[in-house]
Structure 1
Amino acid sequence: AIRPIERGSVHRICSGQVVLNLGSAVKELLENSLDAGATSIEIKLKDHGAELIEVSDNGGGVEEENFEGLTLKHHTSKIQDFSDLIHVETFGFRGEALSSLCALSDVTIFTCHKSAKVGTRLVFDHNGKITQKTPLPRQQGTTVSIQQLFYTLPVRHKEFQRNIKKEYAKMVQLLQAYCIVSKGVRINCTNQVGQGKKTCVISTSGSPSLKENIGAVFGQKQLQSLIPFVQLPPSEAVCEEYGLNPANMPQNLYR
């Protein structure tokens, strides 16, 4: 007989389709920080992210009235109905990331909104409901801690731990891309294995220049092999050949 799947199971299955791997977990949290207007983002990993992923920022923080909806599925401040999608200018908009991470791991959020006098530490269960709420001093911004990613899906968790080095390498590639395009944002990522020393994975200085970001990610030597992209208007001969009017040609055709 065809019967509906129990709702809790549906949520767990679907959450594994939103957060697929280590890279997508870090990406979702990093995008939340960028959407919050952060200029400084710290990413801490323990055991390459298998034990802990922690993303801290100095963004706008979360208002108390939004604590409840923060981790509930399809709760978002970005859109209200389908037509709003045309005007989305943020990275996140579906309200799925935090709710999925709650279903797949142990989530703690520590936040202080710019209007709040003191920060709040929130602990969530796998349904995205708040189980603990304590006031704690913190500067403006938000810290999200993800412990034991995928441990609620035993088979996926085993596979995740077995391939953690590969997962980590892919995550670093994704992180490099965000570090390059995030102008004016300082991004720093560290990894700690066991009780060992923290090692720097990637670090940018918050430069407003794309070129400097590339230098920070791939080293100054790599910059020397880049060729600047210069746009030149088509010559008269080319315009004539393609029947173009030189006066109508836009100055910057490509961006």
Structure 2
Amino acid sequence: MAMKGLLPEGKYADCANGYRIHYLDEGAGGEVVVFLHGSGPGASGYSNFKGNYPVLVDAGYRCIVPDHVGYGFSDKPDDVDHTLDFFVQCIKQTLDEAGISRCSLVGNSLGGVVAIGLALAHPELVEKLILMAPGGLSEMHEYQQMPGMQKMFQVFGAGEPVTHEVMKDLFATGLMYDPRHATDELVSERLQIMGLMNGHVMASMKIPVLVDRLHELECPVLGFWGINERMMPESGIMALAKNVRHLQLILMSECGHWVMVEHRDLFNRQCLDFLQHG
């Protein structure tokens, strides 16, 4: 893959809805695993999952790592609401363009609720789900009470230029338990993408509460949740535990919002075991 600044540039899907979605496509011939990244400033599939998808590629899987519409190198429209249905539509049409009719989904935060949305709308597509503190499990007032969420909106609602130091502090204190994972490399990658983004994607995001539909999930589900989570309300833990029928749920101590980063090796091992054995 060619590099575009600090991040690799892969393929582009020209979706039926008229938008262009960027994705990485690694590995060949094996079962397909799709990685769906979270929201926030400068988010992209690569920065979220660069420590994870190569392990699955080495194990024989074909890994698809898209950038959601509004993020990464994908199109960034400023004239549409970024609803869950819109995110789901863009990912489904990207997978159609990539020739994928069956896959497992790995999603964190926004990517987690998009994965749930895909599995509900297209159950024939999704073999297994791996979710890390997915969105769509709590009411808005609960999210607004979380300290990490408050800090993110404080920083990015101020209208001031976001420096490397401000971004690093947000990751270290808002999204992580252990600040050493807020590396300069990660911050630089996110700042590059943030320079391409417009504020419309976050301002117009509309994610419904899906708790009442979780019982409809037909596929096996592996869930992760950091006990030191500062972004997602703990009500989401019980929402998963009480409503998902085929669930394994792992609660991680000394872990914030990014289990795939803070506990990378354990996360990769658990994902491989679940994909292989369910």
Q: Report the TM-score when normalising by structure 2.
A: 0.23
Q: Report the TM-score when normalising by structure 1.
A: 0.24
